[in-house]
Amino acid sequence: MKFNEFVENLSNYEAGKPIELVVREFGIRKQDVLKLASNENPFGTSEAVRDAIVQNAACAHLYPDDSMYELKGALASKFGVEPQNIIIGAGSDQIIEFALHAKLNSRRAILQAGVTFAMYGIYASHCEAKVYKTSAQEHDLAELLKIYNAHRDEISVIFLCVPNNPLGECLDAEAVYEFAGSVDEDTLLVIDAAYNEFAAFKDERKRLDPKLLIQNFKNVLYLGTFSKVYGLGGMRVGYGIAPRQIINALYKLRPPFNITTLSLAAAIAALKDEAFVQKSLQNNAAQMSRFEDFAREQSLEFIPSYANFITFKLSPPLDSSELCEQLLRRGIIIRNLKSYGLNAVRITIGTQGQNDRVFGTLGEILSGY
């Protein structure tokens, strides 16, 4: 059977390895596996969310309220926007997919930082579009603008990941607003704020305001997620905030019932539990310092991170694939960044006890080099 030509050339996203795989392949007991590979919340989900899931378990047969009235209302009131400025996705990924499908085709292109979230490029390739990247790995707004100006007719979508996954660096909000002002009204500027809560907690200058963004720019799509600080990685709920005209177009590409009934209930409950969010942010900040101290002690190069992970850049003889494999055999899953073209690893910031285990095990491995 023949398929559209572009399908043959697509590459798949390389996800963090699941706990189940380590159990199956290395025979390690499930409770002994520590997964710090996918930036999930180390405190799990809040008790309020667990209660909501348990209470709604008997409704699993019912399709969700596809208007998502309550969730959109709660997000609208949190951000001071209208429900009509919001779209919900199965993770913010899905909103990226809608946006690219709406804007791109084989004659168009996206622009992004040299090393950033892989799904931007993957979804662009589903639309047969070209991907422009800066030579700088981290976000370099001057270089982004230079490339944009050189290919203004071709570039339809620009991505800023604030803070950047998988590197951890973070643009100031003011710099983002200024950049938005330099972009044509017909170029969609996607601001991926999946980890922005962590950045804003560390430094108020990093806090993005979606209301201000959509009031001032007709071409901005702000993306948030419940997968990280809200602890709902497994429930697949993200949101997009944008001017109505953009939301209306994305809605036309949204399949009905794109999140589950329990995901909807979980997200509504998660939004209400601000104490859990604060606890998660505080733990992350405190434990991030310990990771930085550990890196300095071990002479590991790290990128100061504004997210809930830290990226170590390795130098020979240290090799990221080998290091990940050695940790895996000891039941610790971290993220190899080789698929991003880097000899580097990304580790999710865990709880104090989880991190103690990482420092102990990793320190032992490193002492062998």
Considering only the stretches 14-22, 80-88, 142-150, 192-200, report the one whose residues sit in contact with its own copies under the rule CB under 8 A: 14-22
- 142 lies in the binding site for its own copies (CB under 8 A): no
Burial of 156-190, coded b for 16+ CB within 10 Å and e otherwise, reads: bbbbbbbbbbbbbbbbebebbbebbeebeeebbbb
- 105 lies in the binding site for its own copies (CB under 8 A): yes
CA distance 103 to 88: 19
- 224 lies in the binding site for its own copies (CB under 8 A): no
Among 48, 76, 102, 366, binds its own copies (CB under 8 A): 102
- 275 lies in the binding site for its own copies (CB under 8 A): no
Measured from the CB atom, is 52 or 170 closer to its own copies?
Answer: 52
- 154 lies in the binding site for its own copies (CB under 8 A): no
Measured from the CB atom, is 166 or 169 closer to its own copies?
Answer: 166
Among 28, 34, 64, 350, binds its own copies (CB under 8 A): 64
Among 103, 130, 202, 335, binds its own copies (CB under 8 A): 103
- Is 222 within 8 Å of 214 (Cβ atoms)? yes
Measured from the CB atom, is 14 or 364 closer to its own copies?
Answer: 14
Considering only the stretches 42-50, 132-140, 309-317, 327-335, report the one whose residues sit in contact with its own copies under the rule CB under 8 A: 42-50
Beta strand extents in 136-251 (DSSP E only): 155-161, 188-192, 220-225, 238-241
Query: Which among 112, 293, 277 has a CA at the least distance from the CA of 200?
Result: 277
- Is 238 within 8 Å of 224 (Cβ atoms)? yes
Among 166, 168, 231, 238, binds its own copies (CB under 8 A): 231
Among 36, 49, 113, 345, binds its own copies (CB under 8 A): 49
Among 31, 58, 181, 317, binds its own copies (CB under 8 A): 58
User: Which run of H or E residues covers position 69?
Assistant: helix 69-79
- 169 lies in the binding site for its own copies (CB under 8 A): no
Measured from the CB atom, is 168 or 231 closer to its own copies?
Answer: 231
Among 146, 151, 205, 218, binds its own copies (CB under 8 A): 218
176-205 mask for its own copies (x: CB under 8 A)?
Answer: ---------xx-x-----------------
- Is 123 within 8 Å of 112 (Cβ atoms)? no
Could you give the residue ranges of the DSSP H alpha helices within 151-273? Answer: 173-181, 196-202, 210-216, 244-252, 261-272
Q: How many residues bind its own copies (CB under 8 A)?
A: 79
Q: What is the sign of the dihedral through the CA atoms of 318, 293, 233 and 156?
A: negative
The residues in 246-265 that bind its own copies, with binding defined as CB under 8 A, are 246, 249, 251-253, 255-263
> What are residue 111's phi and psi, to 5 degrees?
-130, 135
Both tokens of 207, joined, read 């806090």
Query: Which among 274, 263, 157, 162 has a CA at the least distance from the CA of 207?
Result: 162
- 44 lies in the binding site for its own copies (CB under 8 A): yes
Half-sphere exposure of 63 (CA within 13 A, CB side): 7
